[in-house]
Structure 1
Amino acid sequence: MADSAPPRPPRPCPVCRKPVERESPHRPFCSARCRQIDLGRWLAGDYAIPGEPADPEEEPG
């Protein structure tokens, strides 16, 4: 018996929220532009997890 579940809708691009097709060469993004925007956010530190500042004296090494 074949599974007759309906196909899942395309997931949204994490940058612009447009649907991203499974065959997209830029997946999980919709385009190279959105991929570059996301990389820029990572490099700028926009995705940092908030927390207490690290004490440099406590770091090993």
Structure 2
Amino acid sequence: MYEMRTGRRLTKFTVDGDEAAKYSCPVTYQYVAGQAVEMAQGVKDETLSRRLRPWVMGSPR
């Protein structure tokens, strides 16, 4: 996460996907042999809000 005004990195974190695959994965994709396939899974609004709330509402420290 970066501060908008200065671009300074504030923290780094991951959020596990918790949205059902039928809502967040493409219907089709092209696979190339020998290449890794990474596909992000969607995150519910509530999950992301909970993770960001301390940074928006006050100091997370």
Q: TM-score range by the shorter chain?
A: under 0.3
The structure that has the greater radius of gyration is: 1
TM-score (norm 1): 0.27
Higher relative contact order (CA 8 A, sep 6+): 2
TM-score (norm 2): 0.27
Greater strand share, structure number: 1
